[in-house]
Chains A and B, each alone.
Chain A
């Protein structure tokens, strides 16, 4: 399974944009790039996903490099509620079962 690498931790100030990077240099053509986040003592929460093109939704934006070997999750205005562990995941498999969570990036948001 293709793997991702993310920084262990990042800090941001409240109401500022946050760019969370992810490298996935061994990505295959059929791998989707997913982002999930997890608040303490909760299950992971879906954030966004994409294949080749940049994606936007109400929570965030996903910028995918042209060669797809890296991507960036963008939170446009960080709030204290955005403090969580963010996972960048490549999902593949006929049933999407190849869905490997790494250690993620712990985002701290400072007031």
Chain B
């Protein structure tokens, strides 16, 4: 299995509080992605990174920011959590950014915003 960990694995927080989720990889892969998964929507891309300090927005980026200061870590921040951000969040990595490359997913973080 690809070396991807996510922390925390579960979190409950209140509306309006900031939340940071961490994705850590030991594979030295260049590309990293954050997705959210909600019933009826499959997985949707939030942000992605194509190198240290190189990030861009995905399909559902509003209300989220990311940072990547080193290859192994990709942080997802909810500046002010809302109930609509209750979801399961998955991080993924890839050693090739092109469309023909595989992605490896982490175990997920279940976030509940009350």
Given the known interface contacts A43-B108, A46-B104, A101-B43, the answer about A96 and B90 at a Cβ–Cβ threshold of 8 Å is no
A46-B97 in contact (CB<8A): no
Say yes or no: is B74 at the interface (Cβ < 8 Å to chain A): no
Stretch at the interface among A16-24, A62-70, A71-79, A85-93: A85-93
Also in contact, A49 and B97, with CB within 8 A (given A97-B33, A97-B58, A101-B44): no
Interface membership of chain B positions 71-114, coded 1 if the CB is closer than 8 angstroms to chain A and 0 otherwise: 00000000000000000001010101111111111111000000
B59 near A: Cβ within 8 Å? yes
With A42-B107, A96-B94 given, is the CB distance from A101 to B99 under 8 Å? Answer: no
Point out the residues of chain B lying under 8 angstroms from A87, CB to CB: 42-43
Query: In this complex, what residue of B is CB-closest to A41?
Result: B108
Task: Give the chain B neighbours of A104 by CB distance below 8 A.
Answer: 42
Task: Report yes or no: A103 in contact with B106, Cβ–Cβ below 8 A.
Answer: no
Task: Given A94-B98, A99-B45, output 18 extra A-B contacts at Cβ < 8 Å.
Answer: A31-B99, A36-B103, A42-B108, A43-B92, A43-B105, A51-B100, A87-B43, A92-B99, A95-B56, A96-B96, A96-B98, A96-B101, A97-B33, A97-B56, A97-B58, A100-B42, A103-B41, A104-B42
Of chain B, the residue at the smallest CB distance from A30 is: B99
Q: Establish whether residues B42 and A43, one from each chain, have CB atoms under 8 Å apart when the complex forms.
A: no
The interface size bin for chain A is 20 to 34
A11 at the interface (CB under 8 A from B): no
Q: Which residues of A contact B45 (CB under 8 A)?
A: 97, 99-100
Which label, helix, strand, loop or mixed, suits the secondary structure of the A interface?
loop
Residues of B within 8 A of A (CB): 31, 33, 35, 37, 40-45, 48, 50, 56, 58-59, 90, 92, 94, 96-108
Contact A93–B99 (Cβ < 8 Å): yes
Out of B43, B56, B96, B99, which one reaches A44, CB within 8 Å?
A: B43
Measured CB to CB, the nearest residue on chain B to A50 is B100
**Structural contact, A43 and B90, CB atoms closer than 8 A:** yes
Which of B43, B107, B108 has the most A CB atoms < 10 Å from its CB?
A: B43
Contacts of A99 in B (CB 8 A): 33, 45, 103
Closest to A98 in B: B99
